[in-house]
Structure 1
Amino acid sequence: MVLTGADIFAEVLVEQGVETLFGYPGGAVLNLYDALYKYSGKIRHIMTAHEQGAAHAADGYARATGKTGVVLATSGPGATNLVTGIATAYMDSIPMVAITGNVGTSLIGRDSFQEVYIAGITMPITKHNFVVRKVDELADILRDAFRIAQTGRKGPVLVDIPKDVTGATAEFTPVKPQIPVYKTELDGQELARAAQVIGNARRPVIYFGGGVAASEAGEELYALAKKAEIPATYTMMAAGVLSYGDPLNLGLLGMHGCRTTNRAVNEADLVLAIGTRFSDRVALNTEKFAKNAAILQIDIDPSEVNKNVEVDYSLVGDVKQILQALLPLVKDAKHTEWMTQIQAWQAQDYRPKDDKYCIRPHQLIGKMCELAGPDALYVTDVGQHQMWATQYIRHVKPRSFLTSGGLGTMGFGYGAAIGAKLAVGESRPVIHITGDGSFHMNLNEACTAVSYELPVITVIFNNTVLGMVRQWQTAFYGKRYSSTDPHRKTNYVKLAEGFGAKGYHCETLDAFSAAFAEALKSKGPVWIECVIDKDEKVLPMIPAGGSIEDMIMD
């Protein structure tokens, strides 16, 4: 059948199983939006306040579901407003297809109105970029974009479509979509050697990251840890893969990980690095990281092997497939002496003190978890509140803690929470945890949550300063607080009401408990401002480039 490029665009989205699309209209994409009007019964379009919010929403949708998030923006500033959101998805290996309109092909390269070379701008932060030049190429290019986003190491793909291509016509043949399958080439000898290395270890530790969540390999990872009795630690991107309170769950590793976790890696004789990339927030000093251990790395991306830390053994491929093949080869084991030592260290770990006269972050998060229940999905912005959330949320499920890890994007949270809420619907509460600094970056997305009646609960940790930067200024810059106190007078209750949301102001834990309980019953968005002391610190802390010997405990 003969269709316009715009109708081909809509048909391929339906073909690829896209049910929700985030975006913002403009001149270069008017044909696409006209097609979305006709296909509104099959594709739900969510219009955000800003294109960056749309990109973060598509990202949050993808993180919550494992599906490919889709975002649409017009040419010029619409396209450039996606850049931060695309980069956020790229750094955390999140599958996303970003579709941008552009000026007509005859106007490209002439500095036309709202023209920008978005493919060139985003080339370093996407898995692949396409610029469509002919309408008869559009369908296959869009299909390739979805395939690339989900195949191998996941990530964002950009498709730039000039306006005349969306108006031209071509023959369209529907295709039954095929789920991308990444097949790992398994080497029996390498697997056997890895199993032997694991079997010979006396002080093993599993260190895993977001690749385990992306591969849906949580069950296999836990089966390995259980079978060989190997304690496990995780990066921020993998929170929830192992359940809170499990004896084998050591907790967070790295700059703000607990002392036991960092000490266990320091004293281990084997580190199994699974689906993780040895970032500088974990392997802060690559010369000293796991200095007593052999390292076995499992990762889907061969470029990650030996990139940041030299490893002794490696298995390249999909984590789930490798663990499934490795498990039968690994012998049952007990490491009683090692586990006893770890338990002794845990008894001496840093524990913040409770206070009934003010709101302490750990108590606030504990109360939040208690009231929200185990099915809650948490989304954070970036800063101190993010690290407190990582440390103290009682993580029990994968894809239940969404945060910007690699890029550290302030303003990520509200858009991502909106995307996550649209993904999970009424089945789960979605809690957006933010700081006053991060929240000011994209709080305009409140109008989106109100318009679509999304009961996202936003908890604002308001210490009136840029807390994480101020913490560094306290520790390393002689308390010279340069530009970390913005002196804002924002009244969050009135602002929430101005948007059409509910707002609460809390200065005690009891006040928060009451407000949060009410928020859980709300049919629309709620903001809860919690007053936090500006001198609250995220502890423990290892300075950048340091090791466990440099850990700051108070």
Structure 2
Amino acid sequence: MNGAQHILDTFHRHNIQTVFGYPGGCIMPLYDALVDDVRVEHVLCRHEQGCALAADGYARASGRMGVCIATSGPGATNLITGVANAHRDSIPMLVITGQVPSGLIGTDAFQETDVLGMTLGIVKHSYLVESADELPAILEEATELAQTGRPGPVWIDIPKDVLLTDTTAAPMSHSAQQAHSCPDLTAAVAMLHAARKPLLYSGGGISLAHAEDSFRAFSECSALPAVVTLKGIGNPGKHNAYNLGMLGMHGSRAANRAVDECDVLLVIGARLDDRATGKLDGFAPNARTIHIDADAAEFNKLRHADVALRGDLNAILGGLSEALREAPLAIDGWRKQCHTWRTTGGFQAADNEEPLAPIIGPAFIRQLSRITPDDTVIACDVGQHQMWVAQHYEFDHPRHHLTSGGLGTMGFGLPAAIGAQFANRQSTVINVTGDGSFMMNAQELATVRRYNLPVKLIIMDNQCLGMVRQQQELFYNNRESQINLDDNPDFVAMARAFDIPALKIERTDQVRRGIETILAFNGPMLLHVAIAREENVWPVVKPGGSNRDMIDETRRSAADKKEKVA
């Protein structure tokens, strides 16, 4: 087999059936080999960034590794944002690019770029293959690395001559990485029993470790009040009585208050991101910390861990559950207090009863949550709509909520929805986006149409960059700068140009019918939702501020009135 055929052989042995890519000169030998291969489905996206983000969405929705392919030069550089997005959120991905022939590397050849140098900071590992004989072993090692330990993207850059060269080298067998044995839990259990106000804090590491069931079993037996990060939404399920919701910059007042008053913070599969913690010296100021993670690099990076437990989350959660079943926590008073906060400090969004009134963003998302099936996958873009979904949509599983957490990539949602639909052929997949984010990768409407994917698209259109406008309003004296999008195209006509049916709604009385129409349609469909330009996401914490100093609409209005009186 030549190098290209070895790549396909690796796909077959690892049951990789779907890949996302875009051809070009230096990767052409692989595309030539694909002609004769009926076991690998290649999805042709319309931009290499779309390929990477679709592979990312496929991995998030399925729990399996995503694969993307591109050629050298601009093909490789166009992948970079999508690969960085996967790296920041620890998504398993195999990235394969062609490179100019070995003898031309370093000569500024046509479409040559230093892929290895450019990508060092956004991958778990990377390779520049120097000979066909080493390619089979590299492919095997890369496939394992991407999926074991803390997952992440692994990039293989392959010169064109290597893809064409025959080799009899066989892949080296790599034993699967052994899960860490369960560490000693004695100190953690003792700290939980000594606590009067312990709080459970979980993140995206739960689903990355496939530990959803273990986490829910622990949550049930411990009955700990709990908060989640943006990536942890869905961890507890939608009916968990102790879940206080998302914490952080746009978190619930209940969640942030519980963090502020807890005396032990049990962190599982989370990296204490700045958008979650706010100002660090004001974050959980009275709490000792138990930190559980698969990656030791996260311990003590931002917050000192009084107890650090590295290992397999399933094993650790199972051990903690067993310990707390034998000796339950005596924290009834704390549970009642958190329940009160949840009742009075959760996310509020009154449904507008006036039928002709303009559509309110949070109320629309709550209606969407009520109408859609429990297994619906929501792929968000980045902006106000992203936070409204995080606050007001009730997710029953973390793999149903696809969102760009660490990088905040506008344009993520549509390609991610495409990847999720390939991963879950029978599921309802919805891309909830804003007018700004949608235009970042709108060309992928052609991919939706090409494969007749039943993806539903909802554009929440306020004709501006809403989150930037909100920040400028609240923290920059309302000095608006470069946020107007009032020259948006007609999104309904745009969708129809791609042969995708579409409709527009503008009033409250149109919401239910609009949602039900796109869900009932057998194929892709777009819903254009007009919302008010001035609508904000509440509550909010000032960037760099402490989570205890949340601003909500009531406090903002009072401050405005006081300023006017003065």
TM-score range, shorter chain: over 0.9
Q: Find the residue that maps to 1:433 and give its secondary structure.
A: strand
Aligned partner of 2:25 among 2, 24, 27: 27
Q: Determine whether 1:70 maps to 2:67.
A: yes
Shift of 1:181: 3.7
Q: Which residue of 2 aligns with 1:364?
A: 364
- Paired residues, number: 547
Q: Which residue of 2 aligns with 1:187?
A: 183
Alignment of 1:247-396 (within 5 A): 247-330=241-324, 331-349=327-345, 351-355=348-352, 356=354, 357-396=357-396
More displaced stretch, 218-227 vs 114-123 = 218-227
Shift of 1:259: 0.6
Q: Which residue of 1 aligns with 2:561?
A: none
Shift of 1:371: 2.2
More displaced stretch, 379-388 vs 7-16 = 7-16
Q: Which residue of 2 aligns with 1:449?
A: 448
Alignment of 1:103-114 (within 5 A): 103-114=100-111
Native 8 Å contact 1:88 1:407 kept in 2: yes
Q: Which residue of 2 aligns with 1:205?
A: 199
Shift of 1:218: 1.9
Between the aligned partners of 2:348 and 2:226, the Cα distance in structure 1 is 20
Between the aligned partners of 1:15 and 1:489, the Cα distance in structure 2 is 47
Native 8 Å contact 1:8 1:172 kept in 2: no
Between the aligned partners of 2:169 and 2:297, the Cα distance in structure 1 is 38
More displaced stretch, 326-335 vs 274-283 = 326-335
Native 8 Å contact 1:31 1:167 kept in 2: yes
Native 8 Å contact 1:232 1:250 kept in 2: yes
Shift of 1:346: 2.6
Q: Find the residue that maps to 1:187 and give its secondary structure.
A: coil
| CA RMSD, 1 decimal | 1.4
AA matched with 1:67: R
Between the aligned partners of 2:222 and 2:54, the Cα distance in structure 1 is 40
Shift of 1:159: 0.1
Q: Which residue of 2 aligns with 1:157?
A: 154
More displaced stretch, 336-345 vs 66-75 = 336-345
Counterparts in 2 of 1:312 and 1:535: CA distance versus 1, 3 Å: same
Deviations 1:427-467 (A, max 9, x none): x1001000001001001100000000001101111000100
Where do 5+ consecutive residues of structure 1 fail to align?
none
Q: Which residue of 1 aligns with 2:114?
A: 117
Q: Find the residue that maps to 1:237 and give its secondary structure.
A: coil
Q: Determine whether 1:467 maps to 2:453.
A: no
Deviations 1:366-414 (A, max 9, x none): 2212222111011000000000000111111230000100000000011
AA matched with 2:278: L
Between the aligned partners of 1:133 and 1:511, the Cα distance in structure 2 is 60
Percent of paired sites with the same residue: 41
Shift of 1:219: 2.0
Between the aligned partners of 1:401 and 1:519, the Cα distance in structure 2 is 19
AA matched with 1:24: Y
Shift of 1:37: 1.1
Q: Which residue of 1 aligns with 2:438?
A: 439
Q: Find the residue that maps to 2:437 and give its secondary structure.
A: helix
Between the aligned partners of 1:347 and 1:11, the Cα distance in structure 2 is 56
Shift of 1:362: 2.0
AA matched with 1:27: G
Q: Find the residue that maps to 1:309 and give its secondary structure.
A: coil
Between the aligned partners of 2:67 and 2:385, the Cα distance in structure 1 is 28
Between the aligned partners of 2:22 and 2:222, the Cα distance in structure 1 is 51
Q: Determine whether 1:168 maps to 2:165.
A: yes
Native 8 Å contact 2:26 2:98 kept in 1: yes
Where do 5+ consecutive residues of structure 2 fail to align?
554-566
Shift of 1:549: 3.5
AA matched with 2:13: E
Between the aligned partners of 1:352 and 1:337, the Cα distance in structure 2 is 28
Q: Determine whether 1:501 maps to 2:495.
A: no
Q: Find the residue that maps to 2:35 and give its secondary structure.
A: helix
Q: Find the residue that maps to 1:271 and give its secondary structure.
A: strand
Between the aligned partners of 2:379 and 2:39, the Cα distance in structure 1 is 28
Shift of 1:186: 3.3
Shift of 1:500: 1.2
Counterparts in 2 of 1:14 and 1:288: CA distance versus 1, 3 Å: same
Between the aligned partners of 1:442 and 1:467, the Cα distance in structure 2 is 18
Native 8 Å contact 1:228 1:334 kept in 2: no
Between the aligned partners of 1:489 and 1:127, the Cα distance in structure 2 is 38
Between the aligned partners of 2:343 and 2:368, the Cα distance in structure 1 is 25
